[in-house]
Amino acid sequence: MNNTPKVWILGNGQLGAMLTHASEPLAINVEAIDIVNPDNRVLPMSSNDVVTAEREQWPESSLSLQLSEHPNFINSSVFGLLADRYTQKSLLNELSIDSAPWQLVDDDVSEQVLHHKYGSNVLLKRRTGGYDGKGQHWLKQDSDSVIPADWRNEAIAEQAINFDEEVSLVGVRQANGDCIFYPLTLNLHQDGILIVSIAPLSRLSHLQAQAESMLSSIMNKLDYVGVMAMECFRVGDKLLVNELAPRVHNSGHWTQTGSHIDQFQLHMRALCNLPIPQPKVTFNCAMVNLIGTENDQRWLSLSNAELYWYNKEVRLGRKVGHLNLSIDDITATSNSIDKLKQWLPEQYQTPLEWLRSEIC
Ligand code: ADP
Ligand code: MG
């Protein structure tokens, strides 16, 4: 008999769709709800049902309220805390976890003070709502840029980190407090948007324990249940946390191809209190985000690629799908990179060569 609860997902974008897809083999009854264009229905929820979210913020409507006020909305207090960079960075400070030095952009602070504290380039980030590099503003001393008036109290200021590279850790915490992690993922961003991820990489394995200890202390402090992602800057052998996401994460999409339990199933298992063994990583993988580009059936001819197409309207700078490449055969991967360089827009040339240099 299936005793697992029904799971409602607040949001029905690509993450909601992939959570739904991953639930099928587990026979978990799941429904992803559109809260951007809500309808007027009242959801037939029961008190045993469980609620999760595919995003950390949402517009208020009777539908989103019904979901977010359900007593089994797992991690309900965490979303607001992590959706606001001010409270998120305060939590990191409280746990003595290193991140870029920062402060609130309050009514009194001047550009001069920020440059004096953090250097000639200071990154202002909106406290809420930013994603894919949106909601950021560089204060550059050379060009005398100023703090936008309506950013006061609505933004934080961060020191620019001259990092070696960006990595992320995706992990899960179960209701009993046990934490399980995937190997670290190497991430390349272009214009603030993740474009390519690679995992696992043996050259990063010495950082795994450091990353796991940071993310476990965060998840334990929040009494969190489910998948969380931690984006970091690597500076030498030190990790600085850039940001946290209380959900499945783009840099964990490679697990759909490279692991016997992917991040979506991991999250669903944790929510439903199902057993979770350590996921076995079966392939080294690369994930290429498809950004602002039309669906191209030639991708399906690649010998080592899996396509995930989100069926969204294609817009400039919008993530509309991803390709997972298994890297069990270097020659096949190199051939796929050659073809993708021909088929994808100009902006992919450098990231794809970067991918080749990391794996060959
Ligand atoms: P989001 O992903 O929500 O848009 P992030 O804070 O992750 O916001 O910033 C996006 C990207 O901008 C990062 O992945 C990184 O490449 C760059 N970035 C963010 N903060 C800093 C910083 N303090 N110094 C240098 N680069 C940064
Ligand atoms: Mg980010």
Question: At 127, which CATH number?
Answer: 3.30.1490.20
Q: Identify the pLDDT of residue 2.
A: 64
**Same-domain pairing of 124 and 45:** no
User: End of a domain among 20, 53, 82?
Assistant: 82
Domain with 259 in it: what CATH number? 3.30.470.20
Name the residue with the closest Cα to ligand 1, atom 11.
192
Q: Identify the pLDDT of residue 188.
A: 98
**Same-domain pairing of 65 and 154:** no
Answer yes or no: is 130 a known binding residue.
yes
**Same-domain pairing of 221 and 336:** yes
Q: Kindly report the pTM of this predicted structure.
A: 0.97
Q: Identify the pLDDT of residue 159.
A: 98
User: End of a domain among 82, 110, 139?
Assistant: 82
**Same-domain pairing of 207 and 320:** yes
Count of structural domains, the chain = 3
Residue 202 lies in a domain: yes
**Same-domain pairing of 235 and 297:** yes
Residue 63 lies in a domain: yes
Q: Identify the pLDDT of residue 38.
A: 85
User: End of a domain among 54, 82, 110?
Assistant: 82
274 lines ligand 1 (CB under 6 A): no
SS (H, E, C) the chain: CCCCCCEEEECCCHHHHHHHHHHHHHCCCEEEECCCCCCCCCCCCCCCCEEEECCCCCCCCHHHHHHHCCCCECCHHHHHHHHCHHHHHHHHHHCCCCECCEEECCCCCCHHHHHHHHCCEEEEEECCCCCCCCCEEEEECCCCCCCCHHHCCCEEEEECCCCCEEEEEEEEECCCCCEEECCCEEEEEECCEEEEEEECCHHHHHHHHHHHHHHHHHHHHCCCCEEEEEEEEEECCEEEEEEEECCCCHHHCCHHHHECCCHHHHHHHHHCCCCCCCCCECCCEEEEEEECCCCCHHHHHCCCEEEEECCCCCCCCCEEEEEEEECCCHHHHHHHHHHHHHHCCHHHHHHHHHHHHHHC
pLDDT, averaged per 10 consecutive residues of the chain (360 residues), comes to 85 98 97 92 96 96 96 97 98 98 97 96 96 93 91 98 98 98 98 96 98 98 98 98 98 98 98 98 96 98 98 96 96 97 98 96
56 lines ligand 1 (CB under 6 A): no
Its domain, for residue 124, covers 101-159
Q: Ligand 1 pocket test: which of 243, 247, 318, 319 has the largest number of ligand atoms within 8 Å of its C-beta?
A: 243
